[in-house]
């Protein structure tokens, strides 16, 4: 079971200091389609096309992209809907994809954007977050700009991938239970529910703030992130302010991965509850409903 140090971070951090300044945005976590087009032939670029099946990749992908199956970094075989595979499995996956210490990894997904963020979170958990980024707008924006695609399979050779574990990226059930049930979340951490409003109202963790992941994008047709100042305004309108750790969750940890990426991009201290609402209810822990936290 993955152990995190979230609880210590939430409960030990003193709350008596002066209000913190706004966190610094991490612009390196997003690359534009224009940037990618200019760097497609960079020798250290590793472009990952995330999809559920190889047929999706073969239908068309950005030139040079390597296929990363969601099953390689999302384990759906256990009692929960999605969990992180073992470190050994993940190490093998990213070694086969050719990652090295020089790699600059750019990720996009087809069908559902949170899968790309989940791949980013996985790399961040393995200590490679500083080498990874999402393609802003994903393949949708790439296609909207009439940029090229291919069905040629990219040639790869094994890399030299070494994990540098960052366990605090993941919030375990016991950590979240301590924050939500035993210690009011408002005192130490901000809990964010990344699901649609209807799912939040049907049942959510007590004290959680609803921030549907799609609200952070320009539009469904052009799913680029809103500018940082607009994102900060959106968070402030929900009472999500700097200075407290953020825990994101959703149904099974996918939409929550997008929220994790968002908060890290904006400079927050953040962790993702991997088991999310499914693990919470399976443990028969209390939930709230309606619009009230």
d(CA 119, CA 71): 11
- Residue 243, pLDDT above cutoff 90: no
Query: Band of the pLDDT at 3, cuts 50, 70, 90?
Result: very low
- Residue 83, pLDDT above cutoff 90: no
Query: Band of the pLDDT at 11, cuts 50, 70, 90?
Result: very low
206 part of a folded domain = yes
Query: Band of the pLDDT at 255, cuts 50, 70, 90?
Result: very high
**Mind giving me the DSSP string for the chain?**
-----HHHHHHHS-S-SPPPPPPPP-GGGEE-HHHHHHHTT-TTEEEEEEESSHHHHHH-B-TT-EEEEGGGT-B-SSSSS-B---HHHHHHHHHHTT--TT-EEEEEESS-THHHHHHHHHHHHTT-GGGEEEETTHHHHHHHTT---B-PPPP-----------GGGEE-HHHHHIIIIIS-HHHHEEEEE-S-HHHHHH-B-TTPEE--GGGGBS-SSS-PBPPHHHHHHHHHHTT--TTSEEEEE-SSSSHHHHHHHHHHHTT--EEEESSHHHHHHHTT---B-SS--
Mean pLDDT (the chain) is: 91
Tokens of 15: 């709350």
- pLDDT at position 220 is 87
Residue closest to 51 by CA, chosen among 66, 67, 74? 67
d(CA 195, CA 213): 7
287 part of a folded domain = no
- pLDDT at position 186 is 58
Same domain, 222 and 269: yes
- pLDDT at position 4 is 43
209 part of a folded domain = yes
- pLDDT at position 187 is 67
Same domain, 12 and 41: no
Domain boundary among 109, 144, 179: 144
How many Cβ atoms from other residues are within 10 Å of residue 293's Cβ?
Answer: 17
- pLDDT at position 271 is 98
* CATH assignment of the domain containing 265: 3.40.250.10
- pLDDT at position 183 is 67
d(CA 242, CA 13): 14
Same domain, 171 and 259: yes
- pLDDT at position 185 is 52
Task: Look at the chain and report how many structural domains it folds into.
Answer: 2
Same domain, 172 and 268: yes
- Residue 7, pLDDT above cutoff 50: no
- Residue 66, pLDDT above cutoff 60: yes
- Residue 125, pLDDT above cutoff 60: yes
- Residue 5, pLDDT above cutoff 50: no
Domain range spanning residue 79?
Answer: 32-144
The pLDDT tens digits for 135-191 are 999 999 999 999 999 999 999 999 999 999 999 999 999 999 988 987 665 567 999
293 part of a folded domain = no
Higher pLDDT, 81 or 125: 125
Same domain, 195 and 115: no
Whether the CA torsion 42, 45, 51, 54 is positive or negative: it is positive
200 part of a folded domain = yes
Report helix angle 114-125 to 255-265, nearest 10: 60
Whether the CA torsion 102, 148, 29, 204 is positive or negative: it is negative
Higher pLDDT, 87 or 10: 87
The pLDDT tens digits for 259-290 are 999 999 999 999 999 999 999 999 999 999 99
Q: What are the residues facing 106 on neighbouring strands?
A: 47, 133
- pLDDT at position 241 is 87
The pLDDT tens digits for 208-226 are 999 999 999 999 889 999 9
């Amino acid at each position: 079971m993955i152990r995190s140090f979230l609880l210590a971070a939430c409960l030990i951090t003193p709350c008596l200091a002066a209000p913190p300044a706004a966190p610094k945005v991490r612009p390196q976590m997003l690359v534009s389609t224009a940037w990618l087009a200019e760097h497609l032939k960079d020798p250290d670029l590793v472009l990952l096309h995330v999809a559920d099946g190889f047929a999706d990749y073969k239908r068309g992908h950005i030139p040079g992209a390597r296929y990363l199956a969601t099953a390689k970094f999302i384990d759906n075989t256990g009692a929960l809907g999605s969990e992180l595979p073992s470190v050994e499995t993940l190490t093998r996956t990213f070694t086969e994809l050719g990652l090295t210490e020089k790699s600059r990894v750019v990720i996009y997904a087809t069908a559902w954007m949170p899968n790309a963020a989940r791949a980013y979170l996985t790399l961040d958990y393995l200590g490679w977050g500083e080498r990874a980024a999402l393609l802003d707008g994903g393949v949708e924006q790439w296609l909207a700009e009439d940029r090229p695609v291919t069905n040629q399979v990219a040639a790869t050779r094994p890399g030299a991938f070494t994990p540098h574990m960052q366990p605090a990226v993941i919030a375990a059930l016991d950590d979240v239970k301590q924050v939500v049930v035993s210690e009011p979340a408002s005192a130490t951490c901000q809990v964010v529910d990344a699901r649609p409003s209807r799912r939040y109202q049907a049942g959510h963790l007590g004290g959680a703030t609803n921030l549907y992941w799609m609200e952070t994008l320009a539009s469904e047709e052009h799913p680029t992130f809103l500018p940082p100042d607009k994102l900060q305004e959106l968070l402030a309108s929900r009472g999500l302010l700097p200075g407290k750790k953020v825990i994101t969750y959703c149904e099974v940890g996918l939409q929550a991965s997008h929220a994790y990426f968002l908060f890290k991009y904006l400079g927050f201290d953040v962790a993702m509850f991997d088991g999310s609402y499914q693990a919470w209810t399976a443990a028969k822990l209390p939930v709230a409903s309606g619009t009230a936290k």
